[in-house]
Amino acid sequence: MIRFAKVDDLERIVAIYNQAVPHKNATADLQPIQTKQRITWFNKHSPESYPIYVKEIDDKVVGWCSLSPYRDGRLALKKTVEIVCYIDYEYHGQGIGSGLIQHALDDCTRLEKRIVFAILLEKNINSIKLLEKFGFERWGYLPEVAEFDGKLCGHVYMGKKIIV
């Protein structure tokens, strides 16, 4: 089941995100974050404008996807959103990410969003390929903006126009 996230899900959302930190390919955070650090982020989302979706299996949140504002407050950009998706590592390879992304893209018409983009570390090949499966294209690149253990890594910007 995919549903809108509730504040009670935040601890699990953060736990899933933190699984990516040690892998150094899916987030630029170098240390796990705390739930209290994400409360403001969570509160900037709502089912009516910028949803966070969660996937449940057997009453357990196993993945999440969010649509967040791009340059919040700048009205000319209100129809542009950033998509982010994280899946519990125990559930990788089961199509959960695909399901969440498709669900979010399908909801963009209701939300009146017409541009969806993602910012990924260039070494996050699996996520890049996943987004390409949904018609995302490479729209930009920032070279050597992240550093992991002395090695530099770029950011890839992937984007997709929603047909309305």
The closest alpha carbon to 104, from 94, 91, 118, 90, belongs to 118
The pLDDT confidence band at residue 15, using thresholds 50, 70 and 90, is very high
Q: Of 32 and 164, which is predicted with more confidence?
A: 32
Instruction: Give the domains, in start order, of the chain with CATH numbers.
Output: 2-161 (3.40.630.30)
Average per-residue pLDDT for the chain? 96
Question: 124 — phi, psi (to 5°)?
Answer: -85, 65
The pLDDT confidence band at residue 25, using thresholds 50, 70 and 90, is confident
Q: Is pLDDT of 163 > 90?
A: no
Rounded Cα–Cα distance for residues 78 and 76 (Å): 6
Model pLDDT, residue 23: 87
Q: Is pLDDT of 16 > 80?
A: yes
Angle between helices 96-111 and 125-133 (to 10 degrees): 50
pLDDT, tens digit, 9 for 90 and up, residues 82-115: 999 999 999 999 999 999 999 999 999 999 999 9
**pTM: predicted TM-score of the whole model, two decimal places:** 0.95
Q: What sign for the dihedral angle of Cα 105, 110, 115, 120? A: negative
Q: Is pLDDT of 164 > 80?
A: no
Model pLDDT, residue 5: 98
The distance from CA 162 to its chain's CA centroid, rounded to whole angstroms, is: 17
Burial of 163 (0-12, 13-18, 19+ CB in 10 A): exposed
Mean pLDDT, residues 135-146: 98
